[in-house]
Amino acid sequence: MNRVVQLAAMLCAACVQRPPHATVIVHEGRAPTSHAVLVMPTTCMTYADVSLCRPASWGSQEGTLRAPASFGEVIDPALRLKLELAGFTLAEAGALRLGTADRVEVNGESRVTEPTEGPRTVAELGFDDARAVARSLALTSVLVPRLTIRPAGPGEVSGELTVALVDVATSQPHWTVRCQETMYDIYDTPNRLANCVGNGVLAVLAPENLIGRAL
């Protein structure tokens, strides 16, 4: 079945879709707390067609809507808002630019040079390198969101959004929150998953800031 036709058919089912519910796992001996953390962008992995991690490959339901460059473009803003409501101070990996240790003299002023190739922000680093950056900033934890797309029956796929708060020193998670539902489009479903996970975090850390019905 053509993916655009398939997507249109799934949209009808989305009208009566139940909201996803968060599963929160607090690991033994690691009481959940809010603090300053390095937050990484949402990455995507799939056990189905690899193109499913590229929103543009799904086709657009609305000719006037631009497909997001990644699912993180939809998930991250909603998720970060919930994390801030939960009391976290976020050091955004995508906003932390990398510089080399080399300095050059320009008109008598010393300047740090930026890399001309390779990663330019912390968001582009692997996890171990990101941990090293967090440690240098005196941050004790890294928030790692990941969207996993799996087959979910004939003509359907499900999306599972997992957010883990990982200890910088040990690489072990303090807690993990996950939400899963059938993916019906590239805008609403990722947003619902982000709010679901965010509400799961709020329910544990700041239930007084949980507005409306928890997802």
Q: Is the pLDDT of residue 1 over 60?
A: no
% of the chain at pLDDT higher than 90: 53
How do residues 31-46 score in pLDDT, each as one tens digit? 677 789 999 999 999 9
Q: How far apart are CA 197 and CA 165, in angstroms?
A: 12
**Alpha-carbon distance values, 75 to 10, 130, 153 (Å):** 21, 20, 24
The mean pLDDT value for 56-82 works out to 83
pLDDT band at 207 (very low <50, low <70, confident <90, very high): confident
| Strands of 73-153, DSSP E | 89-92, 103-106, 109-112, 141-151
Is the confidence at residue 106, as pLDDT, over 60? no
Alpha-carbon torsion (111, 112, 116, 121), positive or negative:
negative
Q: pTM value?
A: 0.79
Find the helix or strand (DSSP H, E) in which 167 lies.
Answer: strand 157-167
What pLDDT shows up at residue 10?
A: 44
Work out the mean pLDDT of the chain and round it to a whole number.
82
Q: How far apart are CA 23 and CA 79, in angstroms?
A: 16
Domains of the chain: 21-209 (3.40.50)
- For the segment 163-180, the average pLDDT, to the nearest whole number, is 94
Name the H helices within 36-119. Answer: 72-85
